[in-house]
Amino acid sequence: MSRARQDRVLGLLARTPEWTTAAELADAVGVTPRSIRSYVTAINARVPDGVAIESGPQGYRAGADVAAAQRAGGVEAGTPRDRLHRLVRAVLAAPDGIDVFETADLFHVSPATLDADLARVRALLGGTELVLERTAARARLRGTEMAQRRLLSRLAHDETEDGAFDLDALRRALGEDSIGAAAFGPFKADLVAGLTELGYFVNEFGIGDVMMHVAIAADRVARDHGLDEAGMSEGGEAAVRIEALIDRLSIAHLGVSFGTGDLRHLAALVQSRVVAPGAAEPAAVIRERLDPEVEDAVRDVVARAAAEFQVDIDHEDFVLRLALHVQNLRLRAQEQAWSRNPLTRSLKTTYPMIFEVAVFISDGLRGLLGISLMDDEIAYIAMHVGGRLERSRRAGTVLSATIVCPGYYELHELLRSSIAQSLGQAVTVVGVETRVDPDWASIDTDLVLTTIDPPVPGDRFVRIQPFLTEADVERVQAAAGRVRRGRRLARLRAELERYFAADAFVHGLTAAEGEEGVITRLGALLVRQGVIDDDYVQRTLERERLSSTAFSDALAVPHALGMTATRTAIAVGIADPSIPWGDGRVQVVAMVAFSESDRAAFQTVFEQLVEVFSERDSVQRIVRKGTTFGAFLDELVAVVDG
């Protein structure tokens, strides 16, 4: 039974509060409903005293212990993958190698099975600078201590599917006799506090990765496998302070005294993955730490991204801090030591436009970094971009409101003050009507917050009390959300009806075609219309290789970097059942060709299309009924209109 598919079912249910049928889960995972029932049974077995997934007449939904079941994931005991990990740990722990026959007896398998496992170990060692040697009955690893630690790091990452730090999974990778939670909890807390005292911002998403390497270092040093200081360069005054902090904490919490080589290695990891300059650190100080080549490359690609996507990111502070991140990223790229990001999936699904800007930036930095980036590293760049855009994004979502509150003393002023205090980030009050019979037709703000009943009800009218209550606040927030979503989808409907065409619609995509086959097929339809050329199709394939364009659990939006189409158009393919795409599966593929003249449409189409297809019920409705182009467009418009 596939643990990866179990985890996918668990993740799908964890992200939605609604009931999901076995058939819907089967479509999303690419198995039969019968397999889904088996997966649910296995998942619930992870938490014997709880309920990870509830079952009912309407299907399945996440139970109270879903988080515990996710933490209990990783490599299933007794499986070939588990045996492979045990074998790697065994050869790493034995400098003189292992006896194949004794190890086979210990694992309760035949020598032939262990020989097959050793062949799988050799395959795992590709690109690690490690070699598995076999002499008669003995097998041993040859390679540097750093290469062996990287192999342990890979095992630990295999145990934690979502990139979050999981001490239990780490102990499974290192062995159950490694250091436990009682030591690592206080170590992590004191490390964060110490780095903060040194004036750094601490990246909590990266601290788990550093803790993993601290655990590996402690485990290896305890086995007399420390790093040679000759291979570790000095890191300057800042590194020395971090080394002293790690040295003090490792002795106090772990009972391990690291040598100079290990301290320099761990301090370099902290500097490249965890810390950023504090808010008070001036630009001149940050620039002193930057390689001019890195700064120039980042400055160039940020300027191009700002122009390409028309986003407000070309600012000095943003460029310098992103350049410092990229400088550290280049060090990680040189060592093939990537940082995991537990927010990758949610960033990609919720902020596809921001993620797309990050993909553009990472592609522009390929020459500097010497390698394409994985999604987790692209997600960190997306977090930089999103942080810069947050102010303008918030400003664009604040709605105007008029208060209708018949005058009685200063009642309307008190109400206005309460609204500003409780709802200032969602609405801004631009007018107050104190008449009992206002001219309702003349009020043209986004929302009307009224203490009296309006003559005609509507979505923008919200009835509130003269003295604002928590229930009033919730109603206003809900109404504001409906207005914002209605506007977005109204813009989407207007755009989609322009860009879809009957001769660019395919029903019946199959898994056998593969991602490149589907892109080529849909691209050919747009080439035939004269919208794009074959070069655009090739650049779409290149964009897909950079990072999967599956932005939700149902939708992929392949496209090229660069808006070179003669006009904006969308070719749509429907798959029923779902087909593999990236690390997941999709049922709708919308290949989008954007033109330079339609830059403004890019964000509307891109983000709102992802939003529509993030709603499971909408997806199923469109896929089941949209067997022809006319039916597809009718259902899509109906979903947009609500």
Nearest 5 degrees, angle CA 463-CA 464-CA 466?
135
Residue 189: other Cβ atoms inside 10 A: 12
pLDDT score of 520 = 96
pLDDT score of 391 = 55
The DSSP letter of residue 546 is H
pLDDT-based confidence at residue 148 (cuts at 50, 70, 90): confident
Characterize the bridge pairing of strands 447-450 and 399-404: parallel
Q: Is the pLDDT of residue 209 over 90?
A: no
Distance CA 474, CA 256 (A): 53
Task: Report the percentage of the chain scoring pLDDT > 90.
Answer: 28
Q: Is the pLDDT of residue 418 over 80?
A: yes
* Better-scored residue on pLDDT, 603 or 200: 200
Of the given ranges (431-440, 486-495, 567-576), which has the lowest mean pLDDT? 486-495
E strand or H helix at 305, and its extent? helix 292-309
Q: Is the pLDDT of residue 1 over 50?
A: no
Which residue, among 402, 366, 352, has the nearest Cα to 551 in the 3D structure?
352
* Better-scored residue on pLDDT, 493 or 55: 55
pLDDT-based confidence at residue 258 (cuts at 50, 70, 90): very high
Mean pLDDT of all residues in the chain? 84
Residue 475: other Cβ atoms inside 10 A: 15
Q: What is the average per-residue pLDDT within 103-118?
A: 89
Q: Is the pLDDT of residue 514 over 90?
A: yes
Q: Is 586 strand, coil or helix?
A: strand
- Report the range out of 277-281, 497-501, 619-623 with the highest average pLDDT: 619-623
Q: What is the average per-residue pLDDT within 202-226?
A: 82
Q: Is the pLDDT of residue 158 over 70?
A: no
Could you tell me if 318 and 302 are in contact, meaning their C-beta atoms sit under 8 angstroms apart? yes
Q: What is the average per-residue pLDDT within 507-528?
A: 95
pLDDT score of 328 = 84
* Better-scored residue on pLDDT, 427 or 390: 427
Q: Which two tokens stand for residue 541?
A: 């394939």
595: phi then psi, degrees, rounded to nearest 5 = -105, 155
pLDDT-based confidence at residue 298 (cuts at 50, 70, 90): very high
pLDDT score of 244 = 94
Could you tell me if 202 and 273 are in contact, meaning their C-beta atoms sit under 8 angstroms apart? no
pLDDT score of 230 = 66
Q: Which two tokens stand for residue 351?
A: 């902020």
Chain segment 543-570, per-residue pLDDT in tens: 999 999 998 888 999 999 888 999 989 9
Distance CA 632, CA 502 (A): 10
pLDDT score of 521 = 96
Q: Which ranges in 166-315 belong to alpha helices (H)?
A: 167-174, 181-197, 204-222, 236-249, 260-273, 283-288, 292-309
pLDDT score of 411 = 83
Task: Report the percentage of the chain scoring pLDDT > 70.
Answer: 90
Which residue, among 97, 140, 107, has the nearest Cα to 122 in the 3D structure?
140
Q: Which residue has the tokens 């999604």?
A: 375
Q: Which two tokens stand for residue 26?
A: 């089967």
pLDDT score of 172 = 61
Q: Which ranges in 404-513 belong to alpha helices (H)?
A: 411-423, 470-499
pTM: 0.72
Could you tell me if 210 and 266 are in contact, meaning their C-beta atoms sit under 8 angstroms apart? yes
Radius of gyration, alpha carbons of the chain: 28
pLDDT-based confidence at residue 282 (cuts at 50, 70, 90): low
Q: What is the average per-residue pLDDT within 357-373?
A: 88
Which residue, among 341, 238, 326, has the nearest Cα to 281 in the 3D structure?
238
Q: What is the average per-residue pLDDT within 396-417?
A: 83
Distance CA 171, CA 180 (A): 8
Which residue, among 271, 427, 244, has the nearest Cα to 339 in the 3D structure?
271
577 preceded by a cis bond (ω within 30 of 0): yes
Q: Is the pLDDT of residue 392 over 60?
A: no
Could you tell me if 139 and 100 are in contact, meaning their C-beta atoms sit under 8 angstroms apart? yes
- Please name the amino acid found at residue 441: A
Helices and strands (H and E) in the chain: how many: 27, 15
Q: Is the pLDDT of residue 403 over 50?
A: yes
